[in-house]
Amino acid sequence: IEVHKLNFHYTLSQKRALFRNKEISASPILRDINFQLPQGAHVTLFGKEATGKTTLLNLLSGKLKPSQGYVRINGKKPELIKDASSGYVSATKISNQKETCSEILLAHAKTQPIPDPASRVSFISDLLKLTSFVHRSPDTLSTTQQIRMNIARAAICDTPLVLFDNITDHFR
């Protein structure tokens, strides 16, 4: 990972935005961020709420584009890497009442260049101990189970980057 002179601000039609019941200005979220991480590195990012941690992860995953500067994953822009955003894991719930977790994971696996998607889903489900709830609707899962589902989704892909966003609060 290489991040060079990264700057980011949200484009807003107004000078202020409502964010988590707090009014914040539309000033730059990230300014002049520079770092390099070798392949296989494990890093933890700490900081107060609303200081840009999730924004940085969204930039690394290609969900957002920098206002200035650049991000490179294995020499490429994240938004050009097919499954860069698949490695983004959060506590966000998947809302889908019509399909089971297993069906959702299998549908996701079928979008990947995997020789046997069903075997991959079965292997990941066993590895992450999802078998007790994988045949249920995601709407019935606890937050911890939902996070494990999101980790499974990331593990199914051949993504160059796995980013965990605010999940440790749910594992106490």
Q: What is the pLDDT of residues 36-92, one digit of tens each?
A: 999 888 888 888 888 899 999 999 988 899 999 999 998 999 888 877 777 888 877
Whole-angstrom Cα distance, residue 122 to residue 134?
A: 10
- Tell me the whole-structure pTM to 2 decimals: 0.75
| The predicted structure's pLDDT at residue 75 | 92
Residues 151-159 have a mean pLDDT of 87
Q: How is residue 150 written in tokens? A: 């999101």
Q: In the chain, what percentage of residues exceed pLDDT 90?
A: 43
Burial class from Cβ neighbours inside 10 Å (0-12, 13-18, 19+) for residue 98 reads exposed
| CA–CA dist 78, 97 (Å, integer) | 31
Is the pLDDT score of 93 beyond 90?
no
Give the C-alpha distances (Å, rounded to integers) separating 135 from 8, 104, 132.
Answer: 41, 10, 8
pLDDT reported for residue 14? 36
Question: What whole-number distance in Å separates Cα of residue 145 and Cα of residue 151?
Answer: 10
CB 83 within 8 A of CB 157: yes
